[in-house]
Structure formats: structure tokens, C-alpha cells
């Protein structure tokens, strides 16, 4: 291993869709997007980068954009009750061995956190854990995981050679809850260099479209989205997202959205195509209970699109004038109308959003922060 540029492997079972662009693999989340962005940039800079993902029938060791992908296991295989050990754990270990990295990186609280940490510790490798959402930092993760996932997550978190957080609040929570000193590295985005002229920004407001992007899961609060849509019938809404098996209450809210004449349901959209929906949006709406640092915010701000949200990571929306923070569902309609009905205010907010993005979230800056961290871990 060269201490200056160690070999790295992202252990990310659900990442193949973003890496390959395969439309038949429909799992794309914020953590998957972030891993792919960072990995591609590090590979472009000359790092040897690999991934361990699920087996979707792709060749083992296939290369995408200079990144080798090793397959761990097929989720459909194995005997219930035993498949946790084989083929899942054994397959994960075998794929990590074939990757032959110096540093293994895993993101999102779960069983893999402990499995990767154990592999690294027993094999003399380094392990970096990256936070995906705020509940991982203060034990709220226990509200949405099994006892086994919680146990493996805590085991792995405490054995990480480094922990990466997305926000200052996450850093503080990790220190308070787990006595872990995390490293702050912001999430990254690609700069599409939007047209910020008065004319272009004013044109967005002629027939403004409001965009919502996410999975139809409980923390995303699709029920709130429906209430806001009903209260904002004068605006068009584009809803990008799906869920293969939503809970009954979520399915009912989705059905309600499908019935609204001012809503277009786009379903699952591959990552490389979702930018077209941002490009025609005037505003991004978030209705979540919690987030990490949403990729949706970064995608919006990079294009000068204000965000209306009850979630405001590190108070960026408020402090950087990137949109409007709402305290309740009822606050959303007036906040939306205020932004979309005042051209001068909208233009100022749009330009502030781009300025903040370029100061904090460009891929060049974030990848450089990751390089610094990885080099420091390599020499520990």
C-alpha cells in the first residue's frame, strides 16, 4: 500500500443501479448517489476504486467508469433463517477479499456496518463509516431497524478508524451519543452551470412547477405532500419516486396524489435522467421528518432552485437564504406562494442557492476532503 494513495473499496449492496445505469435495477437513494459521485471523481484522479454490490447477474469484476464492481450475493438465494450467514455474509466477505483494498468504506446504518468493520479488523485493513441520515447519530436508528441491525451497527461504528458526518449537527450528536469524534465532509454535487439571468429566472415563474423527489417511505411523509398539493391547486407538481411495497397508509396517500389534476406522477426515474425534472422546476418541496444532507437539496441549489422544507440541515436554508423553512404542513402553501409570486425575491433566493452550492458542495472540493481523510487513515 502507498500511504499517499491507498486502494479503496465502497461496500454498498444497493449501488449497482447508479454505477451502471441499468434501468432494470431500480434502487437509487441519496447514499448510493453520493458514493458514486465520490468514487468516480477519485477514480478520475488516479485512485484505485472498487465496489462490492449485490449480484444482479452482472459479470464479477466488471468495470464502470474506471471502477471495478465485485458482486457479493443474490438476495433471492439461500434458505430463510440461514441465508444471513450463507450466502450473504460469506458472499460479502468473499467479494471484499477479491476487491483487495486497503480501506473499506461503508455508509448507512445496518448489518453491513458490523460485517465490514469485522472484516477490516481481522484482516489488518482500515474501515471508514459514513453517516447517511441524522437518526444514526443519536440512537433514533433503533426506531426503524431490527435488534440485529442495531447490534451490528453499533459494533461497527465503535470500531471504525474514521467516521464521516455530513453536518455539524451530526458531528455533535456522534460526540454526545457515542463519544466519537467524526470528520465533517459535506455531500457533493455536479455544477450544471445554470442560466441565472433575470430573464431565465423570471421565465420559471410563468407557469411554475414544484418538484418532489424521494421514495414513498414513512420518513418522507407522502401524507403531508398530499395535503400541500390539495392546498396549492394553482401550481403544477411533478412527483418523482416509488416504492415496491408501500405501507397501506402510504399507498392511500399516493393514490390520493394520483387523482389530482395538478399532479404528474413520474414513478421511478434513473439517476442519469432525473436532472431533466430539476431543469424545468421552479421550486423543490421536501416533506420529510428527517434527512441526512439531502441530495435533492444539492441538485436543486446547484441549479438555483429554492427549497421549501421542514428539515434544514445546519440551518443552511435559513442562514444562506436558499429557500424557506416551514414549521408545519400548514406553513407550506404560503411559503410556496411567497416565493413564486415575487420575482425579485425568487431571483435573489435562486442566486443565493447557487452561491452556497459552489462554496460548499462542488465535487472538486468534496473529493479533495475525502482524499485528505483517506490519506490520514492510511497512515494511522
Query: Do 170 and 155 share a structural domain?
Result: yes
241 occurs within a structural domain: yes
The SS3 call for residue 351 is: helix
β-partners of residue 283 are 210
Give the residue carrying C-alpha cell 390539495: 230
Per residue in 170-180, pLDDT tens? 999 999 999 99
Distance of alpha carbon 253 from alpha carbon 241, whole angstroms: 13
Which triple of cell numbers denotes residue 55?
449480484
CB 299 within 8 A of CB 189: yes
Give the residue carrying C-alpha cell 407522502: 222
Specify the CATH number for the domain of residue 159: 3.40.50.2000
Query: Do 267 and 326 share a structural domain?
Result: yes
123 occurs within a structural domain: yes
Percent pLDDT > 90 in the chain is: 82
Rg (CA), the chain: 21
pLDDT band for position 2 (50/70/90)? very low
pLDDT band for position 3 (50/70/90)? very low
Query: Do 239 and 206 share a structural domain?
Result: yes
Residue 145 scores a pLDDT above 50:
yes
What is the pLDDT, as a whole number, of residue 143? 52
Per residue in 322-346, pLDDT tens? 999 999 999 999 999 999 999 999 9
Could you tell me the maximum CA-CA distance found in the chain, to the nearest angstrom?
Answer: 62
Query: Do 182 and 93 share a structural domain?
Result: yes
Give the residue carrying C-alpha cell 424557506: 324
Query: Do 218 and 129 share a structural domain?
Result: no
Distance of alpha carbon 186 from alpha carbon 202, whole angstroms: 31
Per residue in 260-279, pLDDT tens? 999 999 998 888 889 999 99
Query: Do 122 and 111 share a structural domain?
Result: yes
2 occurs within a structural domain: no
Query: Do 136 and 278 share a structural domain?
Result: no
Query: Do 163 and 147 share a structural domain?
Result: yes
Distance of alpha carbon 151 from alpha carbon 159, whole angstroms: 13
Query: Do 219 and 174 share a structural domain?
Result: no
Q: What are phi and psi of 362, to 5 degrees?
A: -70, 150
Closest by CA to 56, choosing from 71, 67, 69, is 71
Which triple of cell numbers denotes residue 169?
449537527
3 occurs within a structural domain: no
Average pLDDT over residues 12-21: 90
355 occurs within a structural domain: yes
User: How many domains is the chain built from?
Assistant: 2
CB 220 within 8 A of CB 243: no
1 occurs within a structural domain: no
User: What's 320's DSSP letter?
Assistant: T
CB 241 within 8 A of CB 26: no
What is the pLDDT, as a whole number, of residue 147? 85
248 occurs within a structural domain: yes
Query: Do 215 and 130 share a structural domain?
Result: no
CB 254 within 8 A of CB 223: no
Whether the bond into 336 is cis, omega within 30 of 0: no
Query: Do 211 and 302 share a structural domain?
Result: yes
Closest by CA to 283, choosing from 265, 311, 304, is 304
Per residue in 61-100, pLDDT tens? 999 999 999 999 999 999 988 999 999 999 999 999 999 9
- Residue 326: CB partners within 8 Å, gap ≥ 6? 308, 309, 310, 332, 335
| Residue 4: CA count within 13 A, CB half-sphere | 2
137 occurs within a structural domain: yes
DSSP characters over 68-134: EEEE---TT-S-TTTTIIIIIIHHHHHHHHHHT-SEEEEESSSHHHHHHHHHHHHHT-EEEEE--SG
**Is the full-model pTM beyond 0.85?**
yes
Average pLDDT over residues 31-58: 95
User: What's 362's DSSP letter?
Assistant: B
Give the residue carrying C-alpha cell 457479493: 72
β-partners of residue 164 are 130, 183
SS (H, E, C) 174-216: HHHHHCCCCEECCCCECCCCCCCCHHHHHHHCCCCEEEEECCC
Q: Which domain holds residue 235?
A: 198-360
β-partners of residue 260 are none
Query: Do 143 and 15 share a structural domain?
Result: yes
What is the pLDDT, as a whole number, of residue 244? 75
Residue 113 scores a pLDDT above 80:
yes
pLDDT band for position 245 (50/70/90)? confident
Kindly state the helix (H) or strand (E) to which residue 53 belongs, with its residue range. Answer: strand 49-53
Amino acid at each position: 500500500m502507498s500511504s499517499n494513495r491507498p486502494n479503496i473499496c465502497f461496500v454498498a449492496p444497493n449501488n449497482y443501479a447508479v454505477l451502471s445505469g441499468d434501468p432494470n435495477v431500480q434502487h437509487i437513494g441519496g447514499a448510493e448517489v453520493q458514493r458514486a459521485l465520490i468514487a468516480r471523481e477519485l477514480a478520475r484522479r488516479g485512485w484505485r476504486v472498487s465496489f462490492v454490490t449485490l449480484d444482479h447477474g452482472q459479470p464479477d469484476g466488471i468495470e464502470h467508469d474506471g471502477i471495478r464492481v465485485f458482486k457479493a450475493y443474490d438476495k433471492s438465494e439461500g434458505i430463510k433463517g440461514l441465508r444471513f450467514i450463507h450466502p450473504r455474509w460469506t458472499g460479502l466477505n468473499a467479494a471484499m477479499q477479491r476487491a483487495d483494498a486497503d480501506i473499506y468504506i461503508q455508509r448507512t446504518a445496518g448489518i453491513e456496518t458490523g460485517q465490514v468493520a469485522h472484516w477490516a479488523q481481522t484482516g489488518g485493513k482500515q474501515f471508514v463509516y459514513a453517516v447517511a441520515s441524522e437518526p444514526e447519530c443519536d440512537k433514533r436508528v433503533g426506531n426503524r431497524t431490527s435488534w440485529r441491525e442495531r447490534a451490528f451497527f453499533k459494533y461497527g461504528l465503535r470500531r471504525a478508524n474514521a467516521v464521516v458526518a455530513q453536518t455539524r449537527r451530526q458531528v455533535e450528536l456522534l460526540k454526545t451519543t457515542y463519544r466519537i469524534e467524526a470528520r465533517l465532509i459535506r455531500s457533493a454535487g455536479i455544477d450544471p452551470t445554470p442560466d441565472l439571468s433575470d430573464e431565465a429566472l423570471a421565465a420559471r415563474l410563468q407557469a411554475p412547477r414544484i418538484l418532489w423527489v424521494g421514495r414513498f417511505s414513512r420518513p418522507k411523509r407522502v401524507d403531508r405532500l398530499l395535503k400541500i398539493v390539495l392546498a396549492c391547486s394553482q401550481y403544477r407538481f411533478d412527483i418523482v419516486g416509488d416504492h415496491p411495497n408501500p405501507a397501506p397508509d402510504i399507498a392511500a396517500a399516493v393514490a390520493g396524489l394520483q387523482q389530482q389534476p395538478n399532479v404528474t406522477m413520474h414513478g421511478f426515474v434513473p439517476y442519469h435522467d432525473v436532472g431533466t425534472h430539476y431543469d424545468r422546476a421552479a421550486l423543490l418541496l421536501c416533506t420529510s421528518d428527517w434527512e441526512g444532507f439531502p441530495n435533492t437539496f444539492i441538485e436543486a441549489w446547484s441549479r438555483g432552485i429554492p427549497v421549501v422544507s421542514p428539515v434544514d440541515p445546519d440551518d443552511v436554508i435559513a442562514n444562506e437564504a436558499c429557500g424557506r423553512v416551514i414549521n408545519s404542513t400548514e406553513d407550506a402553501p404560503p411559503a410556496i406562494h411567497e416565493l413564486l409570486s415575487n420575482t425579485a425575491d425568487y431571483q435573489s433566493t435562486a442566486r443565493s442557492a447557487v452561491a452556497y452550492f459552489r462554496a460548499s458542495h462542488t465535487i472538486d472540493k468534496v473529493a479533495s476532503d475525502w482524499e485528505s481523510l483517506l490519506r490520514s487513515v492510511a497512515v494511522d
